[in-house]
């Protein structure tokens, strides 16, 4: 007697569910899983780093300044956002315009002026943001006084692109030099004097500067955004694993032949 079009013997031999993934799907998972996990952990590491930068900014920003000459390794992370005072003369003849600095949707530059110190070396002073103007062919006027000055501010690193394209010395050899990113060694060669691997953010109330509202912006991405990206990568990892398991589970028919 048939049951719903199938014999009783057929209904009892429907088979068992077993995990038997295909070769192609296994290879794909073996390639993609480590990649997705590494991207997730990389975003977590970026979030940790930027959280540390925020903490350093909050701790150092309101401290009393110390002489820049007392700092042995200015570029070390421990000195990030440390408030300092440096004395010297601005090199107004060889200034740098750091390109692609956007504020309130407007393109502009950060004006980086070398401050020649008493030992002959220099430190770049970020004198603030200035708009591009009507044409990139006409550079803004950024003249600075030549007399000795005492400059106060905070030690930082410039906002640089993730991918560095083009000549670190700039495509145009005129001054002020327009740069896409700061390469301290290359710039020191162009300036022909030593350059400390750090930038001094000029105090907002100091004269001789432009728009200054220093915040740990991190290119517009804070630690919370990186944590969100990490969750997305880990979610994709979990989805891939679940999909692999679902596709790999199959019903294996039972052999109808009796065991000997």
Indicate whether 109 pLDDT > 90: yes
DSSP three-state, residue 201: strand
Structure-block tokens of residue 34: 């480590």
* Distance (Å, whole) CA 142 – CA 146: 13
Q: Is 123 a residue whose pLDDT tops 60? A: yes
If one compares 99 and 221, the residue with the highest pLDDT of the two is: 99
- The closest alpha carbon to 172, from 139, 143, 194, belongs to 139
Q: Which two tokens stand for residue 153?
A: 């501010």
Dump pLDDT digits (tens) for 33-50: 999 999 999 999 888 888
Q: What percent of the chain has pLDDT over 90?
A: 46
Determine contact, residues 210/125, Cβ cutoff 8 Å: no
Residue 212: is it exposed, middle or buried by C-beta count within 10 angstroms (0-12/13-18/19+)? middle
**What DSSP character marks residue 19?**
E
Mean pLDDT (whole number) for 125-138: 90
Q: Is 144 helix (H, G, I), strand (E, B) or coil?
A: coil
Q: Is there a contact between 121 and 193 (Cβ–Cβ < 8 Å)?
A: yes
Phi/psi-derived region of residue 218, left when phi > 0, alpha when psi is between -120 and 50, beta in every other case: left
Unique residue bearing structure tokens 């630690």:
223
Residues with Cβ < 8 Å from 23, sequence gap 6 or more?
none
The pTM of this model reads 0.65
Q: Specify the higher pLDDT residue, 12 or 172.
A: 172
pLDDT score at 54: 76
Q: What is the pLDDT of residue 168?
A: 61
Give the highest mean pLDDT range of 4-13, 157-166, 227-236: 227-236
Place of tokens 């990892």: 237
State pLDDT tens for residues 55-67: 777 777 777 889 9
């Amino acid at each position: 007697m048939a049951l719903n079009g199938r014999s009783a013997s057929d209904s009892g031999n429907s088979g068992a569910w077993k995990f038997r993934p295909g070769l192609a799907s296994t290879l794909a998972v073996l390639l993609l899983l480590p990649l997705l996990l590494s991207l997730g952990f990389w975003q977590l590491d970026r979030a940790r780093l930027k959280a540390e930068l925020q903490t350093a900014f909050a701790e150092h920003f309101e401290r009393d300044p110390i002489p820049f000459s007392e700092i042995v390794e200015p570029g070390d992370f421990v000195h990030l956002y440390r408030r300092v005072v440096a004395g010297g003369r601005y090199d107004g003849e060889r200034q740098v315009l750091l390109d692609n600095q956007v504020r309130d949707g407007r393109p502009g530059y950060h004006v980086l002026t070398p401050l020649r110190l008493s030992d002959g070396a220099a430190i770049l002073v970020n004198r603030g943001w200035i708009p591009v103007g009507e044409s990139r062919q006409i550079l803004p006027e950024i003249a600075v006084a030549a007399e000795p000055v005492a400059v106060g501010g905070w030690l930082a690193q410039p906002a640089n692109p993730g991918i560095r394209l083009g000549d670190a010395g700039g495509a145009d050899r005129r001054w002020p030099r327009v740069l896409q990113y700061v390469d301290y060694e290359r710039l020191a060669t162009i300036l022909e004097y030593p350059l400390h691997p750090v930038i001094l953010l000029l105090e907002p109330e100091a004269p001789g500067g432009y728009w200054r509202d220093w915040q740990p912006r991190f290119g517009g991405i804070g630690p919370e955004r990186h944590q969100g990206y990490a969750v997305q990568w880990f979610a994709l990892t979990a989805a891939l694993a679940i999909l692999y398991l679902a596709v790999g589970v199959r019903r294996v028919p039972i052999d109808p032949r009796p065991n000997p």
